[in-house]
Structures are given as structure tokens and as C-alpha cells.
């Protein structure tokens, strides 16, 4: 029989775990404006796991009120994370397949030869690259990226501000969104069979050390840009380092309507991408994302980018059978 004092200690620990889990559930549902809370929200899944611990501890100690409350918290936590593990339907039969890669190359320091080799091996059709520097473009070109992806639209800058898009297919309608502190780009991809799709490459500033209001404003601007895309424009692919996890309400607002997160669609589970340079510790949070509209992800996988502090993402998308031509093409 458990001594009375030990039971009280376990109950106390159970309630602490319950409070931590409840905080994790609560924080991911709030519009956050405090820098520390935004950073803590990145760890929401780990906080919510404490709710599961509370279920076990308070159940074993037969503290039924605490057990009931912890069970509610645990269910809420599971409901919040379950979409990552349950495929959302299936890709359309006969749709155009497109393999998309997202890569943050850490101030241009990633191994260009290894990245190009990975692009070739994985048969990537489109790659969005963040933290692209002029020197990194030279090294990527020397490594032969244009042999596999001959079309590109890039705005390289020193430090982490540069962004680029490389594609197997021709690009047009290129736009550089100059209102962002870190480069944001878009272009239209001319796909086979006279179809096309749009691709957007984003990199909003991090909520720290940048003021959280700047991060929030850039996330809202991304949402506004996506909302302005005509519904009949065809498939749209959104890729980048968002400096936000799916537990941040700002990111979920982007992918709760027309656009869907590829990992959620494919049921690919947690694909943590950052930080990837702290071996033997694995990446702890997922801040790189690929999303789309009028498309469905068959799979999403996090992959190593040699020399970077991020892992990359590779999403295999099937584009819906919709009219993805430009207005000018439809008038021909």
C-alpha cells in the first residue's frame, strides 16, 4: 500500500502536470502578442504531453476529480495534434505530380554539392531556398543546380534575407514582395499539358529577437496575399521557413481554409526541422512548412541539409484536375 505522504506527493505532482498540460492546450488557441509566450507556444506539444502524464498519475492515485480534469485536457491535446497523423483524404487520380522541396540554407552556409545531389536523387521539381546569399548562388551554380532545375527567380542578399525559387519548368509572372524584411517571392510555373501553378516562397522574420509585432504583421501580410489569389487561378503552392509551428494560431490561420498544410494532408506526423545543428539532440520544432490549394500531398518528409541549422522538407503533391492556366491562356 502506498504511504499517505507519498500519495499526496504524487497527487501534487499530478496537478502540476495537469496545469502544464492545460497551459499547453490554452496557449495554442490564443492570439499571442507577448514575445515570451510566442516562443513558449513553439513547445506546446511538449507541454500538452504533461496532460497525459497527469492522467496516469492521478488515475493511479485514484484522485478522481483530478483524473477527470486531466482526461479532458488530454483529449483536447490529442484532438489538436491528431490531424498530423491522420491522412486527410487521398490525392485525385490522374492529377499532375509535383515534388516540392523547402530548404533554409543557414546564411548561405549549407553544402551546395550535397543539396544539389539531394535535389537530383529525390527528383525535386521545385525548390524554395531561404537565407540565400550571392556566394551561395555561385556555389549552387557550380554544383550544377541549373542542370536539374534550369529556371530560377532569386533575390540573394547577405545574411539571412535572401530567397530563391528553382524549377524544372519555365517561370513567369515573377513578383518580389518588398514589404517583407526577408525576401518573399512568387512565380507561375508552366506545367506540362498547358497547365500552370503558382509558387510562393516566404520567410517571415522570427518572433525573437525581432519584435513580435513585426513577426505578427508579416504573418498577417502573408495571409492577405494568399487571400487575394483568385479562386480560379489553379493550384497554388506555398513554401518557406515561417518561423512558426502549427501550434501558433497565426500559422493555423493560413492553412485553415482554402490552403492546407501538406503534413496534415498526408498524415505524415511531426516533421521537426529546427534546430538541426545540435547533435546528438534532434530538431525540436517544425517551423518549415509546405502548403497548397487545389492540390493534395501524397507524402511529406523532413530531410537533412548538410551544413544547415534546418532540416529540409520534401512534399510530393498531386495537383487537382482544375484549370490552372493564366487568364491570358484561357482567352486563347
pLDDT digits (tens, 9 = 90+) for 105-119: 999 999 999 999 999
Nearest to 134 by CA among 116, 153, 155, 150: 155
> Rounded to the nearest 5°, which phi and psi values hold at 60?
-65, -35
Residue 266, SS3? helix
pLDDT, position 92: 72
Buried b (16+ CB within 10 A) or exposed e, 221-247: bbbebbeebeeebbbbbbbbbbbbbbb
Please give the mean pLDDT across all residues of the chain: 93
- % of the chain residues with pLDDT over 90: 83
Residue closest to 70 by CA, chosen among 8, 143, 21, 136: 21
Nearest to 150 by CA among 158, 141, 159: 141
Asked if residue 99 lies in contact with residue 315, where contact means CB atoms within 8 angstroms, the answer is yes
Q: What is the mean pLDDT of residues 133-144?
A: 97
Name which of 55-64, 117-126, 177-186 the model is least confident about: 55-64
For position 332, what pLDDT does the model report?
37
pLDDT for the residue numbered 331 = 33
> What's the pLDDT score for residue 327?
34
Q: Please tell me whether the peptide bond between 109 and the residue prior to it is cis, using omega within 30 degrees of 0.
A: no
How far is it, in rounded angstroms, from Cα 331 to Cα 131?
A: 39
Range with the poorest average pLDDT among 3-17, 150-164, 176-190: 3-17
pLDDT tens per residue across span 56-73: 999 999 999 999 999 999
Nearest to 157 by CA among 175, 180, 124, 173: 180
Determine the Cα–Cα distance for residues 238 and 284; give it in Å rounded to an integer.
23
- Single out the residue of 310, 171, 285 nearest to residue 237, CA to CA: 171
The answer to whether 117 and 65 have CB atoms below 8 angstroms apart is: no
The helix, strand and coil proportions of the chain, stated in percent and rounded to the nearest 5, come to 40, 25, 40
In whole angstroms, what is the distance from residue 36 CA to residue 241 CA? 20
Q: Among residues 39, 50, 34, 86, which one has the least CA distance to residue 248?
A: 39
Residue 185: closest CA among 151, 232, 217, 152: 152
Q: How far apart are CA 92 and CA 62, in angstroms?
A: 50
Report strand pairing: 260-261 vs 288-293: antiparallel
254 with 291: CB under 8 angstroms? yes
Q: What is the mean pLDDT of residues 131-148?
A: 97
> For the chain, what's the residue count?
332
Greatest mean pLDDT among 179-183, 254-258, 317-321: 179-183
Q: How far apart are the C-alpha atoms of 196 and 258, rounded to whole Å?
A: 18
**Per-domain residue ranges for the chain?**
4-84, 97-330
Which CATH topology does 97-330 take? Deoxyribonuclease I; Chain A (3.60.10)
Q: Lowest-confidence range among 79-83, 147-151, 177-181, 315-319?
A: 79-83
pTM assigned to the model: 0.91
Check: CB of residue 218 under 8 Å from CB of residue 187: no
Q: d(Cα 87, Cα 134) in Å, to the nearest integer?
A: 40
Tell me what pLDDT residue 89 has.
Answer: 79
Amino acid at each position: 500500500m502506498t504511504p499517505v505522504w507519498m500519495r499526496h506527493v504524487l497527487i501534487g505532482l499530478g496537478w502540476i502536470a495537469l496545469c502544464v498540460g492545460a497551459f499547453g492546450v490554452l496557449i495554442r488557441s490564443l492570439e499571442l502578442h507577448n514575445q515570451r509566450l510566442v516562443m513558449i507556444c513553439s513547445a506546446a506539444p511538449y507541454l500538452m504531453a504533461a496532460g497525459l502524464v497527469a492522467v496516469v498519475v492521478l488515475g493511479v492515485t485514484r484522485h478522481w476529480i483530478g483524473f477527470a480534469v486531466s482526461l479532458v485536457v488530454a483529449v483536447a491535446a490529442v484532438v489538436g495534434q491528431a490531424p498530423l497523423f491522420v491522412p486527410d483524404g487521398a490525392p485525385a487520380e490522374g492529377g499532375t505530380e509535383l515534388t516540392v522541396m523547402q530548404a533554409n540554407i543557414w546564411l548561405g552556409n549549407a553544402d551546395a554539392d550535397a543539396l544539389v545531389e539531394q535535389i537530383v536523387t529525390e527528383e525535386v521539381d521545385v525548390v524554395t531556398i531561404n537565407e540565400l546569399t550571392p556566394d551561395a548562388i555561385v556555389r549552387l551554380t557550380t554544383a550544377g543546380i541549373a542542370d536539374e532545375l534550369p529556371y530560377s527567380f532569386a533575390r540573394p542578399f547577405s545574411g539571412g534575407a535572401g530567397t530563391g525559387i528553382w524549377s524544372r519548368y519555365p517561370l513567369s509572372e515573377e513578383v518580389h514582395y518588398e514589404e517583407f524584411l526577408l525576401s518573399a517571392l512568387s512565380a507561375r510555373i508552366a506545367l506540362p499539358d498547358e497547365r500552370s501553378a503558382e509558387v510562393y516562397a516566404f520567410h517571415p522574420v522570427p518572433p525573437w529577437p525581432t519584435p513580435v509585432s513585426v513577426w505578427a504583421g508579416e504573418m498577417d501580410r502573408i495571409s492577405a496575399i494568399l487571400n487575394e489569389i483568385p479562386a480560379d487561378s489553379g493550384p497554388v503552392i506555398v513554401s518557406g521557413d515561417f518561423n512558426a509551428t502549427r501550434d501558433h494560431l497565426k500559422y493555423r490561420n493560413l492553412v485553415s481554409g482554402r490552403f492546407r498544410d501538406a503534413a496534415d494532408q498526408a498524415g505524415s506526423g511531426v516533421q521537426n526541422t529546427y534546430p538541426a545543428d545540435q547533435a546528438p539532440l534532434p530538431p525540436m520544432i517544425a517551423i518549415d512548412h509546405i502548403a497548397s490549394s487545389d492540390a493534395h500531398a501524397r507524402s511529406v518528409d523532413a530531410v537533412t541539409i548538410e551544413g544547415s541549422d534546418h532540416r529540409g522538407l520534401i512534399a510530393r503533391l498531386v495537383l487537382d484536375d482544375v484549370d490552372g492556366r493564366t487568364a491570358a491562356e484561357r482567352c486563347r
